[in-house]
Structure 1
Amino acid sequence: MTQIDWDKPKTFKRDGLTFAYWEAGPKDSSYPTLVFSHGFPELAFSWRFQLEGLAERGFHCVAMDQRGYGQSACPEAIEAYDMEALCADQAALCAELGLTEVIFVGHDWGGLIVWQMPLRYPELTKSVICLNTPYTKRAPMEPSKLYAKRFGEDFYMVWFQKEGEAEALLDDDVRKTLTYFAQKPPEADGNSPDTRAGSSLKDTLKTFDTSTARPLVMSDEAFDFYVREFERTGFRGGINWYRNFDRNWHETANQVDLVEQPCLMVLAELDPVLPPAAADGMEKFVPNLDRVLIKGSGHWTQQEKPDDVNEAIADWVQKKF
């Protein structure tokens, strides 16, 4: 099995910022390189099973800590985390490695990034594989206003807009925060209903008792790695991605909602935040789309069901390319 030292990344620079990345597998693979993008609150480490497992199957795999996370740069300015910058980071990583045709693989917030890559970097993007996060058309109004109108001012994406408040609560007890996010879905163990998709994250976190938490989706050793990284960096970088929703919306006013490359949508049966039904109607915007359902998985799909995810990715890429 391929072994990766997650404490010792490779690095590259873009615009004076340093980014950490890891790679595995043969660089001369007959398949396009798989470049993985993580979500919130995660790390390149969330793709450890994919980098290690798919490398063994002959794929060249790359994942980086995105800006604001882990061992990569955490610029202070909120506007440094807009979609233009996040996608440019991905393109710069590919340029660093001399990659010209890439399959971008994303999950959660990383899914939003990989759906933008074929629109912003079409010649670089061979295809897209996305876990949980569907492609969605541009909102009819500024997202912060839309979410507040639909879900209220306490909805976590609206609450995140309040600079300083959200990160203060999440940073106060990193282990508690990550325990809350990293619980297995309730359907997997028969306990109480999941509240992670609820609107009042701040109230839930304030009263959350780790002694009543469901089992976690990862080993104690893996969880400790997450805790060490987020205790060092805090959550501000990741939260700043949300604070660019409106900025991104304005910047994409003339963008066409059409992804023409072949794509795979990997759906997680038990995801309370991004359920399979959220991808209904995607073919209107992604006409060359295949789907696969990962049964028994909650939101942390690539960590909860790594073998199923690896099989889905490998099988689809081998058939397509």
Structure 2
Amino acid sequence: MTTRVASLVLALFLLSAPTLLAQPPDVFERVEHGYAVSESGVKIHYATLGSGPLVVMIHGFPDFWYSWRHQMAALSESFQVVAIDQRGYNLSDKPKGVEQYDMRLLVADVAAVIRHLGRDKATIVGHDWGGMVAWQFAMQVPAMTERLIVLNLPHPRGLVRELQTNPEQIKNSAYARAFQDGSPTDAAVFFGQAMTPQTLSGWVRDPEARKRYIDAFGRSDFTAMLNYYKANYPKASGSDLAPLPDLPKVKAPVLMFHGLDDRALHANGLSGTWDWLEQDLTLVTVPGAGHFVQQDAADLVTSTMKWWLTMRRR
């Protein structure tokens, strides 16, 4: 009798094992794709998942919409999550000329996506250059900014202050000078290497994800990537860097993440952020995580985002 029961249990387990062991489909296979057209006529590609209040996610350098795969999977249970390819990247248009990457146009691209989706506001999420776009969006288009989440990009005032006074930040920003002065064909422009899909994706740890990055960067415009720096990044440092003009305070509540092992952006730039906001700031610093904190500490970032956004829906 015992043998029969054991055999039955084993048989039931084997029958159910494929279901128990099956992994949910990768976000790459689950999203729907679309395009919005900016006021400047540039087509912006986006990937969308879920339904509910709108969350727009903006990647940085070098990256594409798939950077947000961990967060999209979890947030899509309660929100419509839309991750864009910024102009110059992957499936979005790649206009020629440095002036085509001016911050005002990058902000307008995000606004175009929100309007294209029939919404009048969204939670804006940005990392690195996407973080700078997110800060500027919140300041320039406050009526469309419901909440703001920024990852590893200090407020513009904090970044400029550190570029004026912090020798470590000045040293860490040497790569930006190389990007401003160089071109993709320079043999050592990208941290001592040429810009290729392989070198640009070298930071991606997951082998399967890295394949997707190589494909996306193969469709991207490397000159456009550098144009972000040529058009928007401060060209001076120390005493030669002029102070920023007056900036409006951010009106939306803000959640910030900062991986403390970031070798490009010093955490000292976070100090004083609360002085430039009208509402509350939630700041999460992450020891052991680097610049790409949304991937290095995916579980922490995702769960905190979900908690913070859900709490504010009540």
The C-alpha deviation readout for 1:151-204, integer Å capped at 9, x for no partner, is: 47x92111212253566645554313431xx1xxxxxxxxxxxxxxxxxxxxxx
Which deviates more, 160-169 or 264-273?
Answer: 160-169
Superposed, which structure 2 residues align to 1:57-136 within 5 Å?
A: 58-136=78-156
Instruction: Figure out how many residues of one structure are paired with residues of the other and give that number.
Output: 277
Kindly indicate whether the alpha-carbon contact (under 8 Å) linking 1:41 and 1:235 is maintained by their aligned counterparts in 2.
no
Establish whether residue 241 from structure 1 lines up as the match of residue 224 from structure 2.
no
What TM-score do you get using the length of structure 2 for normalisation? 0.77
CA contact (8 A) 1:82 1:247 kept: no
What does residue 160 of structure 1 align with? 179
CA contact (8 A) 2:91 2:219 kept: no
Task: Tell me, yes or no, if the aligned pair for 1:268 and 1:275 is still in contact at 8 Å.
Answer: no
2:141 alignment partner AA: Y
Structure 1 pair 53–258 and aligned structure 2 pair: CA distance change class (3 A): same
Shift of 1:277: 3.2
Q: Give 2:71's aligned residue.
A: 50
Pairwise CA RMSD: 3.3
**Alpha-carbon separation, structure 1, partners of 2:121 and 2:104:** 20
Task: Give yes or no for contact 1:108–1:131 (8 Å, CA) kept in 2.
Answer: yes
Identity of matched residues, %: 29
Amino acid at match of 2:68: W
Q: Is the 8 A contact 2:123 2:149 kept in 1?
A: yes
**Alignment check: 8 A CA contact 1:55 1:61 kept:** yes
- Structure 1 stretch 107-116 or stretch 264-273: which is displaced more? 264-273
Aligned match for 1:268, one of 253, 259, 272: 259
Preserved contact between residue 68 and residue 75 of structure 1 (Cα < 8 Å): yes
Deviation at 1:4, TM superposition (A): 3.7
Q: Name 1:258's counterpart in structure 2.
A: 249
What SS does the corresponding residue of 2:201 show, helix, strand or coil? helix
**How far apart are residue 286 of structure 1 and its match?**
2.1
Moved over 4 A (4+): 138-141, 145-148, 165-172, 246-249, 252-255
Q: For 1:87 and 1:44, locate their aligned partners in 2 and report how far apart those are by CA, in whole Å.
A: 16
Superposed displacement of residue 260, structure 1: 2.3
Query: Can you list the C-alpha shifts for 1:120-144, whole angstroms capped at 9, x where unaligned?
Result: 1110001101111111328879x8x
Q: TM-score, normalised by structure 1?
A: 0.76
Task: Tell me by how many angstroms 1:54 deviates.
Answer: 1.2
Q: Residues 281 and 25 from structure 1, CA distance in 2 versus in 1: closer, same or farther, beyond 3 angstroms?
A: same
SS at match of 1:40: coil
Q: Deviations over 1:20-52 (max 9, x none)?
A: 1011111xx2xx311101000010110111112
Q: Deviations over 1:282-303 (max 9, x none)?
A: 1111252111233432111111
Larger Rg: 2
1:178 to 198, 201, 222: 201
